[in-house]
Structure 1
Amino acid sequence: MRYAKEGIPFIVGSAILALLALGAAVRMGGAWWIVAVLIAVIAGWVAYFFRDPERSGDRGEHLVVAPADGKVVLITEIDEPTFVGGRAMRVSIFMNVFSVHVNRYPVSGVVRHVKYAPGKFLNAVSEASSAENEQTSVGIDTGRYRVLVRQIAGLIARRIITYSREGDAVTQGERMGLIRFGSRVDVFVPVGSTLRTKLGELTSAGTTVIAELPR
């Protein structure tokens, strides 16, 4: 199993704590066995959280794949002036603490816009989190269209990691970053795109097709 490199310190640290607790349980017994089991469970969850499986699926210049594992919680048409430059369809995917948290590019193209904005840590499911929470926006120019991906911190998530730099040529399904411990990712596509997802659908980053760009 591959793990996100940003998670290695957490995985190693929790594993060391689990081994120390096990050693204490062997020496002293009693309640230390309960402590050792609890820490081992936490260490296992940390490793599970930072898993980074390989992904494959349909690819194409008109296809938009999910940038995140999770559940589609919002689909709305809104103004997106910062990069799309007009009306856009927004698909919001909420990642819980059991989701794979590695994010992937929904389309291929060139990164033309990267912007970090500090903010609050509201529940990422809420509509307000899209505007008020800490976030990083990445705009991709496909050559014909502009697609925006927004990584949004949540109630628990306090660290957004983005690999994108302006001018980077990126490939659909390639890793674009990570959000630690529960969060949300919004995708903005031009109006006229055909949605291929619906509210409540479970998505797989880099695999699930969520929209088709206008032809």
Structure 2
Amino acid sequence: MDNYADRVTLAITGASGVQYALRLMQCLVAANVQILVMVSRAAHVVAATETDVELPTRSAELEQHLSQLYGAQQGQIRVFAKEQWMAPVASGSGAPSRMVVCPCSTGSLSAIATGASNNLIERAADVALKERRQLILVPREAPYSEIHLEHMLKLTRMGAVILPASPGFYHRPESVEDMVDFIVARILSQLGIDQTLLPPWGQNLIDDTQS
């Protein structure tokens, strides 16, 4: 792991909400976390539709692009292709102890719930489950069908955390970025990584008591 504070697998799939993944990556880089990244083909399409960020399709080019975009150290962001089976994430002996699928398409949700392992993203999630490691899935869909809910329940019972991309409003967001930060803050908290994007609920009452 070299000199990094932690290591996290981040899979970006083809649901709406690639902004969450990009902001999460930026925060993880700032927290000195090494990130092992996988991006599905559908995620590239969504990114081109929802953002002005151009994500190269070749792994080496994408790795260089993301590293430059977020000021990452050399090797801090590693990008793997969908069939790069020798990647660390494909085996319990080399995979990080934490994985986030953000956003998580309902197709990916289904594949993970059934252990399909047809590509590296699905295999990495399967590894996280079989090794009893932390797996956080961030679906962005509305409404949920019975199929989606059954898959979420099944994965929750396996130990995964379902964290829907449903921003709250008690922090009074003033921009889309504030709403994105709400979800990213929740993901970081689940990962046990300190964050300053969103104050904990009730913090103002504690501060008033101590003042």
Relative to its length, the structure with more helix (as a share) is 2
Q: Please say which structure displays the higher CA radius of gyration.
A: 1
What TM bracket, shorter-length normalisation? under 0.3
Q: Greater RCO between the two (CA within 8 Å, min separation 6)?
A: 1
Structure 2 length-normalised TM: 0.24
